[in-house]
Copies of this chain bind each other. A is one copy, B any other.
Amino acid sequence: MHLREITETLKKRRKLLGLTQVRFTELSGVSLRTIKALESGKSNPTFETLTRLAEVLNMELNLEFKLPKFF
């Protein structure tokens, strides 16, 4: 997944769970500033930042083999 897909997924799921950005910072420990930058596509986040956010959403980052397109 490209970074844009990942951030979009995080954002959509955050909203699906009815969380505001503020509540998201409280639950994740990632600053509001960082979340805003990330969601508006203005950063190259560290692995830890993405992981802390994913965690709150019951998600995680996995390293996998690329699958051929027809999958």
Contacts and interface: CB of A to CB of B under 8 A. Distances in A.
A64 B51 CA distance: 11
How many copies are assembled? 2
Contact of A48 (B3, B54, B61, B63): B3
Nearest to A55: B66
A64 B6 CA distance: 9
Contact of A47 (B9, B46, B59, B60): B46
Contact of A9 (B5, B6, B51, B63): B63
A66 B59 contact: yes
A62 B59 contact: no
A10 B47 contact: no
A50 B46 CA distance: 10
